[in-house]
Structure 1
Amino acid sequence: MTEITLGNASNVAARAHELAEAAAASAGVTVRTISAPDELSDAYELYKDTWRPDASNLSMTLGILRVLAKTGNYVSGAFVGSKLVGMSVGFCGQPDQRSLHSHITGVSSSMQGRKVGQAIKLHQRAWALESSMHTITWTVDPLVRRNAFFNIVKLGAVPTEYLPNFYGQMDDAINGSDPSDRLLITWDLESEIVGSVSPGSPMHVRPLLEATELIVTDADDHPHVSAASQSTVVAVATPEDIESLRRTHPGAARAWRSVVRECFMREFASGSRVVGFDSRGSYIVDRKENSQKG
Protein backbone atom coordinates (compact mmCIF):
# COMPACT_ATOMS: atom_id res chain seq x y z
CA MET A 1 0.00 0.00 0.00
CA THR A 2 1.23 3.51 -0.79
CA GLU A 3 2.47 5.39 2.27
CA ILE A 4 0.78 8.72 2.90
CA THR A 5 1.27 11.25 5.70
CA LEU A 6 -1.50 12.77 7.75
CA GLY A 7 -0.52 16.19 6.44
CA ASN A 8 -1.47 15.47 2.85
CA ALA A 9 -4.32 13.01 3.45
CA SER A 10 -6.87 15.81 3.07
CA ASN A 11 -5.27 16.84 -0.22
CA VAL A 12 -5.58 13.28 -1.55
CA ALA A 13 -9.27 13.18 -0.59
CA ALA A 14 -9.91 16.61 -2.09
CA ARG A 15 -8.23 15.61 -5.34
CA ALA A 16 -10.27 12.39 -5.37
CA HIS A 17 -13.48 14.42 -5.16
CA GLU A 18 -12.32 16.62 -8.05
CA LEU A 19 -11.61 13.56 -10.18
CA ALA A 20 -14.96 12.02 -9.30
CA GLU A 21 -16.87 15.18 -10.19
CA ALA A 22 -15.00 15.54 -13.48
CA ALA A 23 -15.68 11.89 -14.37
CA ALA A 24 -19.38 12.30 -13.61
CA ALA A 25 -19.55 15.42 -15.75
CA SER A 26 -17.79 13.61 -18.60
CA ALA A 27 -20.32 10.76 -18.35
CA GLY A 28 -23.27 13.16 -18.18
CA VAL A 29 -24.44 11.98 -14.76
CA THR A 30 -24.57 13.04 -11.14
CA VAL A 31 -23.32 10.46 -8.65
CA ARG A 32 -24.30 10.67 -4.98
CA THR A 33 -25.09 8.46 -2.02
CA ILE A 34 -28.74 7.48 -1.63
CA SER A 35 -30.91 6.53 1.33
CA ALA A 36 -34.47 7.59 0.42
CA PRO A 37 -36.83 4.60 0.13
CA ASP A 38 -37.89 5.40 -3.44
CA GLU A 39 -34.30 5.74 -4.63
CA LEU A 40 -33.28 2.50 -2.94
CA SER A 41 -36.23 0.80 -4.64
CA ASP A 42 -35.08 2.16 -7.99
CA ALA A 43 -31.55 0.86 -7.30
CA TYR A 44 -32.91 -2.57 -6.47
CA GLU A 45 -35.00 -2.64 -9.66
CA LEU A 46 -31.89 -1.75 -11.67
CA TYR A 47 -30.04 -4.65 -10.03
CA LYS A 48 -32.87 -7.04 -10.95
CA ASP A 49 -33.13 -5.72 -14.51
CA THR A 50 -29.38 -6.08 -15.05
CA TRP A 51 -28.73 -9.50 -13.51
CA ARG A 52 -32.20 -11.09 -13.67
CA PRO A 53 -31.14 -13.16 -10.66
CA ASP A 54 -32.33 -16.60 -9.67
CA ALA A 55 -34.71 -16.15 -6.74
CA SER A 56 -33.05 -19.01 -4.86
CA ASN A 57 -29.63 -17.30 -4.75
CA LEU A 58 -30.06 -13.52 -4.65
CA SER A 59 -26.92 -11.40 -4.31
CA MET A 60 -28.99 -8.52 -2.92
CA THR A 61 -32.47 -7.86 -1.53
CA LEU A 62 -34.25 -4.56 -1.03
CA GLY A 63 -34.25 -5.13 2.71
CA ILE A 64 -30.47 -5.63 2.84
CA LEU A 65 -29.99 -2.57 0.65
CA ARG A 66 -31.99 -0.48 3.11
CA VAL A 67 -30.04 -1.84 6.08
CA LEU A 68 -26.68 -1.12 4.46
CA ALA A 69 -27.70 2.46 3.69
CA LYS A 70 -29.09 2.96 7.19
CA THR A 71 -25.93 1.74 8.91
CA GLY A 72 -23.51 4.02 7.07
CA ASN A 73 -22.26 1.73 4.34
CA TYR A 74 -21.74 2.82 0.74
CA VAL A 75 -24.92 2.95 -1.34
CA SER A 76 -24.90 5.28 -4.34
CA GLY A 77 -26.82 6.11 -7.48
CA ALA A 78 -25.87 7.70 -10.79
CA PHE A 79 -28.57 10.01 -12.12
CA VAL A 80 -29.51 11.75 -15.33
CA GLY A 81 -31.81 14.40 -13.94
CA SER A 82 -34.01 12.50 -11.52
CA LYS A 83 -33.68 9.15 -13.32
CA LEU A 84 -31.41 6.56 -11.70
CA VAL A 85 -29.18 4.97 -14.37
CA GLY A 86 -26.51 3.34 -12.22
CA MET A 87 -26.06 1.99 -8.72
CA SER A 88 -23.40 0.66 -6.40
CA VAL A 89 -23.44 -0.89 -2.94
CA GLY A 90 -20.57 -1.81 -0.64
CA PHE A 91 -19.99 -2.59 3.00
CA CYS A 92 -17.20 -1.74 5.40
CA GLY A 93 -14.65 -4.35 6.40
CA GLN A 94 -13.15 -4.91 9.84
CA PRO A 95 -12.22 -1.60 11.51
CA ASP A 96 -8.48 -2.33 11.57
CA GLN A 97 -8.47 -3.06 7.84
CA ARG A 98 -9.83 0.37 6.83
CA SER A 99 -11.31 -1.20 3.71
CA LEU A 100 -14.57 -1.12 1.76
CA HIS A 101 -15.86 -4.15 -0.11
CA SER A 102 -17.82 -3.16 -3.21
CA HIS A 103 -20.48 -5.84 -3.56
CA ILE A 104 -22.53 -4.83 -6.62
CA THR A 105 -22.17 -2.09 -9.23
CA GLY A 106 -24.49 -1.86 -12.23
CA VAL A 107 -25.36 0.52 -15.05
CA SER A 108 -28.59 0.54 -17.07
CA SER A 109 -28.40 -0.79 -20.61
CA SER A 110 -29.29 2.65 -21.99
CA MET A 111 -26.10 4.13 -20.49
CA GLN A 112 -23.62 1.40 -21.37
CA GLY A 113 -20.42 2.64 -23.00
CA ARG A 114 -20.66 6.17 -21.57
CA LYS A 115 -18.18 5.69 -18.70
CA VAL A 116 -20.85 5.77 -16.02
CA GLY A 117 -19.16 2.85 -14.29
CA GLN A 118 -15.90 4.78 -14.10
CA ALA A 119 -17.72 7.77 -12.61
CA ILE A 120 -19.31 5.53 -9.97
CA LYS A 121 -15.98 3.91 -9.03
CA LEU A 122 -14.27 7.29 -8.67
CA HIS A 123 -17.13 8.53 -6.49
CA GLN A 124 -16.73 5.36 -4.42
CA ARG A 125 -13.00 6.05 -4.07
CA ALA A 126 -13.61 9.64 -2.92
CA TRP A 127 -16.21 8.47 -0.39
CA ALA A 128 -13.87 5.81 0.99
CA LEU A 129 -10.94 8.21 1.32
CA GLU A 130 -13.17 10.71 3.11
CA SER A 131 -14.08 7.86 5.47
CA SER A 132 -10.35 7.24 6.19
CA MET A 133 -10.23 3.99 4.21
CA HIS A 134 -7.16 2.79 2.35
CA THR A 135 -8.45 0.11 -0.02
CA ILE A 136 -11.54 -1.05 -1.87
CA THR A 137 -11.99 -4.70 -2.83
CA TRP A 138 -14.48 -6.36 -5.16
CA THR A 139 -14.84 -9.52 -7.20
CA VAL A 140 -14.97 -9.97 -10.98
CA ASP A 141 -15.41 -12.87 -13.38
CA PRO A 142 -11.85 -13.46 -14.67
CA LEU A 143 -13.17 -14.57 -18.08
CA VAL A 144 -14.82 -11.24 -18.97
CA ARG A 145 -12.23 -9.22 -20.90
CA ARG A 146 -13.85 -5.82 -20.67
CA ASN A 147 -14.01 -6.08 -16.88
CA ALA A 148 -10.34 -7.03 -16.66
CA PHE A 149 -9.39 -4.09 -18.88
CA PHE A 150 -11.52 -1.68 -16.87
CA ASN A 151 -10.27 -2.81 -13.47
CA ILE A 152 -6.58 -3.25 -14.24
CA VAL A 153 -5.88 -0.75 -17.02
CA LYS A 154 -8.34 2.06 -16.34
CA LEU A 155 -8.57 1.89 -12.55
CA GLY A 156 -5.08 0.62 -11.75
CA ALA A 157 -6.50 -2.05 -9.42
CA VAL A 158 -4.81 -5.42 -8.93
CA PRO A 159 -6.14 -9.02 -8.82
CA THR A 160 -4.87 -10.51 -5.56
CA GLU A 161 -6.68 -13.84 -5.09
CA TYR A 162 -8.56 -16.46 -7.10
CA LEU A 163 -11.86 -17.62 -5.56
CA PRO A 164 -13.31 -20.83 -7.10
CA ASN A 165 -17.12 -20.93 -7.34
CA PHE A 166 -17.26 -18.09 -4.82
CA TYR A 167 -21.02 -17.42 -4.95
CA GLY A 168 -22.15 -20.95 -5.70
CA GLN A 169 -24.59 -21.66 -8.54
CA MET A 170 -26.06 -18.31 -9.57
CA ASP A 171 -28.22 -19.18 -12.62
CA ASP A 172 -28.77 -15.55 -13.57
CA ALA A 173 -28.80 -13.80 -16.94
CA ILE A 174 -25.09 -12.98 -16.81
CA ASN A 175 -23.50 -16.07 -15.26
CA GLY A 176 -25.82 -18.81 -16.46
CA SER A 177 -24.99 -22.19 -14.92
CA ASP A 178 -21.24 -21.59 -15.05
CA PRO A 179 -19.33 -21.96 -11.75
CA SER A 180 -19.02 -18.52 -10.17
CA ASP A 181 -15.21 -18.32 -10.06
CA ARG A 182 -14.01 -14.82 -9.22
CA LEU A 183 -10.85 -12.77 -8.97
CA LEU A 184 -10.60 -10.65 -5.84
CA ILE A 185 -9.59 -7.15 -6.92
CA THR A 186 -7.75 -4.83 -4.53
CA TRP A 187 -7.61 -1.07 -5.20
CA ASP A 188 -4.99 0.97 -3.37
CA LEU A 189 -6.87 4.26 -3.03
CA GLU A 190 -3.75 6.28 -2.23
CA SER A 191 -1.78 5.00 -5.21
CA GLU A 192 -0.09 7.66 -7.32
CA ILE A 193 -1.28 5.74 -10.39
CA VAL A 194 -4.91 6.29 -9.44
CA GLY A 195 -4.41 9.83 -8.14
CA SER A 196 -2.88 11.07 -11.40
CA VAL A 197 -5.75 10.01 -13.66
CA SER A 198 -7.52 12.39 -16.01
CA PRO A 199 -11.22 11.48 -16.36
CA GLY A 200 -12.13 10.17 -19.78
CA SER A 201 -8.74 8.59 -20.44
CA PRO A 202 -7.06 5.40 -19.23
CA MET A 203 -5.77 5.77 -15.70
CA HIS A 204 -2.76 3.55 -16.19
CA VAL A 205 -1.42 1.67 -19.17
CA ARG A 206 0.90 -1.17 -18.23
CA PRO A 207 4.07 -1.49 -20.31
CA LEU A 208 3.99 -4.15 -22.98
CA LEU A 209 5.84 -7.28 -21.90
CA GLU A 210 7.10 -10.30 -23.78
CA ALA A 211 5.14 -12.95 -21.94
CA THR A 212 4.88 -16.70 -22.50
CA GLU A 213 1.29 -17.85 -23.01
CA LEU A 214 0.12 -20.44 -20.48
CA ILE A 215 -3.05 -21.26 -22.44
CA VAL A 216 -3.21 -22.39 -26.08
CA THR A 217 -6.23 -23.28 -28.22
CA ASP A 218 -6.58 -26.28 -30.51
CA ALA A 219 -8.08 -26.44 -34.00
CA ASP A 220 -11.57 -26.39 -32.49
CA ASP A 221 -10.75 -23.31 -30.40
CA HIS A 222 -10.86 -25.31 -27.17
CA PRO A 223 -8.30 -24.06 -24.63
CA HIS A 224 -5.58 -26.17 -23.03
CA VAL A 225 -2.85 -25.42 -20.51
CA SER A 226 0.45 -25.40 -22.37
CA ALA A 227 3.59 -27.23 -21.32
CA ALA A 228 5.32 -25.99 -18.18
CA SER A 229 7.20 -22.75 -18.74
CA GLN A 230 10.21 -21.44 -16.83
CA SER A 231 9.57 -17.87 -18.00
CA THR A 232 9.49 -15.20 -15.32
CA VAL A 233 6.69 -13.34 -17.12
CA VAL A 234 3.71 -15.33 -18.38
CA ALA A 235 0.26 -14.59 -19.80
CA VAL A 236 -3.12 -16.09 -18.91
CA ALA A 237 -5.42 -15.78 -21.93
CA THR A 238 -9.19 -15.19 -21.88
CA PRO A 239 -11.91 -15.97 -24.45
CA GLU A 240 -12.96 -13.15 -26.75
CA ASP A 241 -16.58 -13.15 -25.55
CA ILE A 242 -17.34 -15.58 -22.74
CA GLU A 243 -20.97 -14.48 -22.41
CA SER A 244 -21.74 -15.39 -26.04
CA LEU A 245 -19.69 -18.57 -25.71
CA ARG A 246 -21.81 -19.73 -22.77
CA ARG A 247 -24.89 -19.53 -25.00
CA THR A 248 -23.45 -21.00 -28.19
CA HIS A 249 -20.76 -23.45 -27.00
CA PRO A 250 -21.23 -24.17 -23.29
CA GLY A 251 -18.65 -26.95 -23.37
CA ALA A 252 -15.97 -24.57 -24.59
CA ALA A 253 -17.02 -22.03 -21.96
CA ARG A 254 -16.59 -24.65 -19.22
CA ALA A 255 -13.18 -25.54 -20.64
CA TRP A 256 -12.08 -21.91 -20.42
CA ARG A 257 -13.25 -21.77 -16.81
CA SER A 258 -11.25 -24.87 -15.99
CA VAL A 259 -7.95 -23.87 -17.59
CA VAL A 260 -8.01 -20.28 -16.32
CA ARG A 261 -8.77 -21.58 -12.83
CA GLU A 262 -5.85 -24.03 -13.05
CA CYS A 263 -3.42 -21.32 -14.15
CA PHE A 264 -4.42 -18.72 -11.59
CA MET A 265 -4.60 -21.14 -8.67
CA ARG A 266 -1.08 -22.34 -9.44
CA GLU A 267 0.37 -18.88 -10.00
CA PHE A 268 -1.13 -17.29 -6.89
CA ALA A 269 -0.12 -20.29 -4.76
CA SER A 270 3.50 -19.85 -5.86
CA GLY A 271 3.55 -16.13 -5.05
CA SER A 272 3.24 -14.71 -8.58
CA ARG A 273 1.57 -11.33 -9.11
CA VAL A 274 -0.76 -10.03 -11.82
CA VAL A 275 0.79 -6.82 -13.15
CA GLY A 276 -1.28 -5.99 -16.21
CA PHE A 277 -3.74 -6.90 -18.95
CA ASP A 278 -2.57 -6.69 -22.55
CA SER A 279 -4.18 -5.89 -25.89
CA ARG A 280 -4.49 -9.60 -26.72
CA GLY A 281 -6.87 -10.11 -23.82
CA SER A 282 -4.36 -11.81 -21.53
CA TYR A 283 -3.47 -11.20 -17.90
CA ILE A 284 0.25 -10.52 -17.46
CA VAL A 285 1.69 -12.43 -14.51
CA ASP A 286 5.08 -11.65 -12.97
CA ARG A 287 6.92 -14.60 -11.44
CA LYS A 288 10.12 -12.70 -10.65
CA GLU A 289 9.37 -12.12 -6.99
CA ASN A 290 8.60 -15.81 -6.52
CA SER A 291 11.77 -16.90 -8.32
CA GLN A 292 13.86 -14.55 -6.20
CA LYS A 293 12.40 -16.13 -3.04
CA GLY A 294 13.52 -19.54 -4.23
Structure 2
Amino acid sequence: MSAPARQAADAAIRSGVRLCELHDIPAFEQVARLFDDIWHPDPTDPPITVEMLRALSHAGNYVAGAFDGSTLVGASAGFFAAPVGQVLHSHVTGAVRRGAGFALKLHQRAWALSRGIDVITWTYDPLVRRNAYFNLAKLAARPEEYLPEFYGSMTDAVNAGDESDRLLAVWRLTDPHVVEACEGRPYRPEVPADAVAGVASHQGRPMVGPTDARVVLVALPEDIETLRQQDPGLAKAWRHAVREVLGGMMAQGARVTGLADGCYVVERT
Protein backbone atom coordinates (compact mmCIF):
# COMPACT_ATOMS: atom_id res chain seq x y z
CA MET A 1 0.00 0.00 0.00
CA SER A 2 1.34 3.43 -0.93
CA ALA A 3 1.86 6.07 1.77
CA PRO A 4 -1.08 8.22 0.52
CA ALA A 5 -3.37 5.16 0.46
CA ARG A 6 -2.26 4.26 3.99
CA GLN A 7 -2.96 7.80 5.20
CA ALA A 8 -6.46 7.61 3.72
CA ALA A 9 -7.06 4.17 5.24
CA ASP A 10 -5.89 5.38 8.67
CA ALA A 11 -8.20 8.41 8.49
CA ALA A 12 -11.12 6.16 7.53
CA ILE A 13 -10.46 3.90 10.53
CA ARG A 14 -10.34 6.90 12.89
CA SER A 15 -13.66 8.15 11.52
CA GLY A 16 -15.25 4.72 11.47
CA VAL A 17 -16.08 4.76 7.76
CA ARG A 18 -15.45 2.67 4.67
CA LEU A 19 -14.25 4.57 1.58
CA CYS A 20 -14.90 3.46 -1.99
CA GLU A 21 -15.51 4.71 -5.51
CA LEU A 22 -19.13 4.79 -6.66
CA HIS A 23 -20.33 3.46 -10.01
CA ASP A 24 -24.05 2.71 -9.99
CA ILE A 25 -27.33 4.62 -9.98
CA PRO A 26 -28.49 3.55 -6.47
CA ALA A 27 -25.23 4.89 -5.04
CA PHE A 28 -25.57 8.16 -6.97
CA GLU A 29 -29.12 8.52 -5.67
CA GLN A 30 -27.75 8.17 -2.14
CA VAL A 31 -25.26 10.94 -2.88
CA ALA A 32 -28.00 13.23 -4.18
CA ARG A 33 -30.08 12.64 -1.04
CA LEU A 34 -27.09 13.26 1.22
CA PHE A 35 -26.26 16.55 -0.51
CA ASP A 36 -29.92 17.60 -0.32
CA ASP A 37 -29.81 17.03 3.43
CA ILE A 38 -26.62 19.08 3.77
CA TRP A 39 -27.42 22.08 1.54
CA HIS A 40 -31.23 22.05 1.28
CA PRO A 41 -31.10 23.38 -2.28
CA ASP A 42 -33.92 24.59 -4.47
CA PRO A 43 -35.24 21.35 -6.08
CA THR A 44 -34.51 22.83 -9.51
CA ASP A 45 -30.87 23.58 -8.65
CA PRO A 46 -29.16 20.68 -6.80
CA PRO A 47 -25.37 20.74 -6.12
CA ILE A 48 -25.02 17.89 -8.61
CA THR A 49 -27.48 15.56 -10.30
CA VAL A 50 -27.63 11.77 -10.44
CA GLU A 51 -27.16 12.00 -14.21
CA MET A 52 -24.01 14.12 -13.85
CA LEU A 53 -22.56 11.76 -11.25
CA ARG A 54 -23.21 8.88 -13.64
CA ALA A 55 -21.50 10.71 -16.50
CA LEU A 56 -18.48 11.71 -14.38
CA SER A 57 -17.97 8.19 -13.08
CA HIS A 58 -18.41 6.54 -16.47
CA ALA A 59 -15.87 8.94 -18.00
CA GLY A 60 -13.25 7.93 -15.41
CA ASN A 61 -13.51 10.91 -13.09
CA TYR A 62 -13.59 10.82 -9.30
CA VAL A 63 -16.85 9.91 -7.52
CA ALA A 64 -16.50 8.35 -4.08
CA GLY A 65 -18.38 7.83 -0.85
CA ALA A 66 -17.82 7.23 2.85
CA PHE A 67 -20.10 4.63 4.45
CA ASP A 68 -21.03 3.68 7.97
CA GLY A 69 -22.30 0.19 7.27
CA SER A 70 -24.77 0.70 4.42
CA THR A 71 -25.41 4.37 5.28
CA LEU A 72 -23.69 7.01 3.17
CA VAL A 73 -22.20 9.67 5.48
CA GLY A 74 -19.98 11.52 3.00
CA ALA A 75 -19.39 11.85 -0.71
CA SER A 76 -17.17 13.69 -3.17
CA ALA A 77 -17.15 14.25 -6.92
CA GLY A 78 -14.44 15.77 -9.08
CA PHE A 79 -13.34 15.97 -12.69
CA PHE A 80 -10.12 16.28 -14.63
CA ALA A 81 -9.09 19.90 -15.28
CA ALA A 82 -6.44 21.86 -17.16
CA PRO A 83 -3.55 21.37 -17.57
CA VAL A 84 -4.66 18.00 -18.90
CA GLY A 85 -3.23 15.10 -16.94
CA GLN A 86 -1.99 17.28 -14.09
CA VAL A 87 -5.02 18.62 -12.19
CA LEU A 88 -8.23 17.25 -10.68
CA HIS A 89 -10.95 19.77 -9.79
CA SER A 90 -12.94 18.64 -6.75
CA HIS A 91 -16.38 20.04 -7.52
CA VAL A 92 -18.36 19.07 -4.41
CA THR A 93 -17.62 17.29 -1.14
CA GLY A 94 -19.99 16.92 1.79
CA ALA A 95 -20.07 14.82 4.94
CA VAL A 96 -22.23 14.41 8.05
CA ARG A 97 -19.82 12.22 10.05
CA ARG A 98 -16.95 13.87 11.92
CA GLY A 99 -13.70 12.98 10.17
CA ALA A 100 -15.38 11.58 7.05
CA GLY A 101 -14.63 14.69 4.98
CA PHE A 102 -10.94 14.51 5.88
CA ALA A 103 -10.84 10.79 5.07
CA LEU A 104 -12.52 11.44 1.71
CA LYS A 105 -10.00 14.15 0.79
CA LEU A 106 -7.13 11.81 1.61
CA HIS A 107 -8.79 9.09 -0.48
CA GLN A 108 -9.13 11.62 -3.31
CA ARG A 109 -5.44 12.55 -2.95
CA ALA A 110 -4.33 8.90 -3.11
CA TRP A 111 -6.61 8.33 -6.13
CA ALA A 112 -5.12 11.33 -7.95
CA LEU A 113 -1.49 10.50 -7.19
CA SER A 114 -1.99 6.93 -8.42
CA ARG A 115 -2.97 8.46 -11.79
CA GLY A 116 -0.02 10.82 -12.03
CA ILE A 117 -1.99 13.88 -10.91
CA ASP A 118 -0.26 16.02 -8.29
CA VAL A 119 -2.64 19.01 -7.93
CA ILE A 120 -6.26 19.13 -6.76
CA THR A 121 -8.26 22.35 -6.79
CA TRP A 122 -11.65 23.38 -5.42
CA THR A 123 -13.54 26.52 -4.47
CA TYR A 124 -14.87 27.53 -1.06
CA ASP A 125 -16.52 30.52 0.58
CA PRO A 126 -13.70 32.60 2.11
CA LEU A 127 -15.94 33.70 5.00
CA VAL A 128 -16.71 30.23 6.38
CA ARG A 129 -14.06 29.93 9.11
CA ARG A 130 -14.41 26.19 9.71
CA ASN A 131 -13.96 25.48 6.00
CA ALA A 132 -10.95 27.79 5.86
CA TYR A 133 -9.41 25.89 8.78
CA PHE A 134 -10.17 22.53 7.16
CA ASN A 135 -8.67 23.57 3.83
CA LEU A 136 -5.62 25.56 4.99
CA ALA A 137 -4.71 23.82 8.25
CA LYS A 138 -6.08 20.26 8.15
CA LEU A 139 -5.19 19.78 4.46
CA ALA A 140 -2.48 22.47 4.03
CA ALA A 141 -3.98 23.66 0.73
CA ARG A 142 -3.41 27.28 -0.32
CA PRO A 143 -5.84 29.83 -1.77
CA GLU A 144 -4.38 31.14 -5.02
CA GLU A 145 -7.21 33.18 -6.56
CA TYR A 146 -10.07 35.32 -5.23
CA LEU A 147 -13.20 34.89 -7.36
CA PRO A 148 -15.94 37.51 -6.73
CA GLU A 149 -19.54 36.35 -7.35
CA PHE A 150 -18.17 33.13 -8.84
CA TYR A 151 -21.46 31.18 -8.96
CA GLY A 152 -23.81 34.13 -9.35
CA SER A 153 -27.01 34.03 -7.29
CA MET A 154 -27.38 30.87 -5.18
CA THR A 155 -30.67 29.69 -3.69
CA ASP A 156 -29.75 26.87 -1.30
CA ALA A 157 -30.31 27.25 2.43
CA VAL A 158 -26.61 27.69 3.19
CA ASN A 159 -25.80 30.43 0.63
CA ALA A 160 -29.11 32.19 -0.07
CA GLY A 161 -29.09 35.95 0.40
CA ASP A 162 -25.31 36.34 0.11
CA GLU A 163 -22.90 36.98 -2.74
CA SER A 164 -21.08 33.89 -3.97
CA ASP A 165 -17.46 35.01 -3.63
CA ARG A 166 -15.07 32.06 -3.61
CA LEU A 167 -11.40 31.30 -3.09
CA LEU A 168 -9.71 28.81 -5.39
CA ALA A 169 -7.89 26.36 -3.11
CA VAL A 170 -4.89 24.66 -4.67
CA TRP A 171 -3.71 21.44 -3.03
CA ARG A 172 -0.20 20.51 -4.15
CA LEU A 173 -0.29 16.88 -3.17
CA THR A 174 3.43 16.23 -2.65
CA ASP A 175 4.25 19.51 -0.86
CA PRO A 176 5.97 18.76 2.49
CA HIS A 177 3.32 20.71 4.44
CA VAL A 178 0.60 18.63 2.75
CA VAL A 179 2.35 15.36 3.55
CA GLU A 180 2.60 16.43 7.21
CA ALA A 181 -1.05 17.47 7.30
CA CYS A 182 -2.15 14.15 5.84
CA GLU A 183 -0.34 12.44 8.71
CA GLY A 184 -2.66 14.31 11.08
CA ARG A 185 -0.47 17.33 11.85
CA PRO A 186 -2.34 20.51 10.78
CA TYR A 187 -0.30 23.32 9.29
CA ARG A 188 -0.03 26.70 11.03
CA PRO A 189 1.98 29.50 9.40
CA GLU A 190 4.40 31.72 11.30
CA VAL A 191 2.97 35.15 12.10
CA PRO A 192 5.65 37.83 12.55
CA ALA A 193 5.35 40.32 15.40
CA ASP A 194 5.03 43.23 12.98
CA ALA A 195 1.99 41.78 11.12
CA VAL A 196 -0.89 44.26 10.86
CA ALA A 197 -4.66 43.76 10.94
CA GLY A 198 -6.03 44.45 7.47
CA VAL A 199 -9.46 43.28 8.68
CA ALA A 200 -10.17 42.92 12.41
CA SER A 201 -13.31 42.01 14.33
CA HIS A 202 -14.54 44.71 16.72
CA GLN A 203 -17.58 43.63 18.73
CA GLY A 204 -18.46 41.31 15.86
CA ARG A 205 -18.17 43.95 13.14
CA PRO A 206 -15.41 44.07 10.50
CA MET A 207 -12.90 46.91 10.80
CA VAL A 208 -10.66 47.60 7.79
CA GLY A 209 -7.14 48.63 8.73
CA PRO A 210 -3.79 49.19 7.01
CA THR A 211 -2.57 46.79 4.35
CA ASP A 212 0.85 48.27 3.57
CA ALA A 213 2.88 45.89 5.78
CA ARG A 214 4.71 42.81 4.53
CA VAL A 215 2.30 40.52 6.42
CA VAL A 216 -1.39 41.38 6.81
CA LEU A 217 -3.99 39.48 8.86
CA VAL A 218 -7.55 39.23 7.55
CA ALA A 219 -10.01 38.18 10.26
CA LEU A 220 -13.13 36.10 9.60
CA PRO A 221 -16.49 36.19 11.39
CA GLU A 222 -17.03 33.37 13.87
CA ASP A 223 -20.11 31.98 12.09
CA ILE A 224 -21.08 33.63 8.81
CA GLU A 225 -23.84 31.08 8.13
CA THR A 226 -25.75 32.02 11.30
CA LEU A 227 -24.99 35.69 10.69
CA ARG A 228 -26.65 35.51 7.26
CA GLN A 229 -29.85 34.42 8.97
CA GLN A 230 -29.74 36.78 11.95
CA ASP A 231 -28.17 39.95 10.49
CA PRO A 232 -27.89 39.95 6.67
CA GLY A 233 -26.56 43.51 6.67
CA LEU A 234 -23.66 42.62 8.94
CA ALA A 235 -22.96 39.49 6.90
CA LYS A 236 -22.76 41.68 3.78
CA ALA A 237 -20.38 44.08 5.56
CA TRP A 238 -18.05 41.14 6.29
CA ARG A 239 -18.29 40.01 2.68
CA HIS A 240 -17.31 43.40 1.32
CA ALA A 241 -14.51 43.98 3.85
CA VAL A 242 -12.86 40.63 3.12
CA ARG A 243 -13.37 41.10 -0.62
CA GLU A 244 -11.77 44.55 -0.48
CA VAL A 245 -8.74 43.56 1.57
CA LEU A 246 -8.09 39.89 0.80
CA GLY A 247 -9.33 40.05 -2.78
CA GLY A 248 -7.51 43.32 -3.40
CA MET A 249 -4.20 42.07 -2.02
CA MET A 250 -4.37 38.79 -3.92
CA ALA A 251 -5.12 40.67 -7.13
CA GLN A 252 -1.90 42.62 -6.51
CA GLY A 253 0.12 39.42 -6.16
CA ALA A 254 0.06 38.81 -2.40
CA ARG A 255 -0.15 35.19 -1.29
CA VAL A 256 -2.05 33.53 1.53
CA THR A 257 0.37 31.46 3.59
CA GLY A 258 -2.22 29.89 5.90
CA LEU A 259 -4.73 30.48 8.68
CA ALA A 260 -3.89 31.49 12.26
CA ASP A 261 -6.36 32.27 15.05
CA GLY A 262 -9.26 32.77 12.65
CA CYS A 263 -7.28 35.07 10.34
CA TYR A 264 -5.87 34.61 6.86
CA VAL A 265 -2.13 35.32 6.91
CA VAL A 266 -1.39 37.28 3.74
CA GLU A 267 2.17 37.98 2.68
CA ARG A 268 3.35 40.45 0.08
CA THR A 269 5.97 38.95 -2.22
TM normalised by structure 2 equals 0.94
Cα distance in structure 2, aligned partners of 1:119 and 1:92: 20
Q: Structure 2: give runs of 5+ residues left out of the alignment.
A: none
The count of aligned residue pairs is: 268
Q: Matched residues in 2 for 1:174 and 1:202: separation? A: 29
Deviation at 1:215, TM superposition (A): 1.6
**AA at the equivalent of 2:10:** A
- 1:7 is matched with none
Task: Kindly name which structure, 1 or 2, has the bigger radius of gyration based on alpha carbons.
Answer: 1
Unaligned runs of 5+ in 1: 1-12, 290-294
8 Å contact kept, 1:54–1:170: no
Contact 2:200–2:218 (CA under 8 A) maintained in structure 1: no
Partner of 2:215: 233
1:161 aligns with 2:145: yes
Structure 2 residue aligned with 1:128: 112
Select which of 238, 252, 257 maps to 2:239.
257
Task: Give 1:133-282 correspondences, 5 Å limit.
Answer: 133-197=117-181, 199=183, 201-210=184-193, 211-217=195-201, 221-226=204-209, 228-279=210-261, 281-282=262-263
The amino acid that maps onto 1:59 is P
Residues 170-229 of structure 1: CA deviation (Å, up to 9, x unaligned): 121111210111000000011122223464x3332322433211124556x432322x34
How many angstroms does 1:95 deviate by? Answer: 5.2
- Which residue of structure 2 lines up, in the alignment, with residue 285 of structure 1? 266
**Aligned with 1:147: secondary structure?**
helix
Equivalent position SS for 1:168: coil
Q: How far apart are 1:129 and its partner, in Å?
A: 0.4
Identity %: 44
Q: Hey, what's the Cα distance between the residues in 2 that align with 1:95 and 1:144?
A: 29
Q: State how far apart, in whole Å, the 1-side matches of 2:69 and 2:239 are.
A: 41
Superposed CA RMSD: 1.6
6, 9, 34: which is aligned to 1:21? 9
Residue identity in the other structure for 1:139 = T
Q: Structure 1 residues 216, 193: closer, same or farther in 2, change over 3 A?
A: closer
Determine the C-alpha separation between the residues in 2 that align with 1:81 and 1:253: 39
Distance 1:229 1:94 in 2: 33
Question: What secondary structure, in the 3-state scheme, does the structure 1 residue paired with 2:163 have?
Answer: coil
Q: Which residue of structure 2 lines up, in the alignment, with residue 66 of structure 1?
A: 54
8 Å CA contact retained: 2:191, 2:265: no
Question: Any idea what the Cα deviations from partners look like across 1:224-249, whole Å, max 9, x if unmatched?
Answer: 322x3421000111101101111111
> Per the alignment, in what secondary structure is the counterpart of residue 84 of structure 2?
helix
Q: TM-score, normalised by structure 1?
A: 0.87
Change (3 A) 1:198 1:229: closer
SS of the counterpart of 1:214?
A: strand
Counterpart secondary structure, 2:218: strand
Could you tell me how far 1:52 is from its partner in structure 2? 1.0
Equivalents in 2 of 1:130, 1:268: separation in Å?
Answer: 32
Which amino acid in the other structure matches residue 263 of structure 2? S
Q: Retained in 1: the 8 A contact 2:201–2:221?
A: no
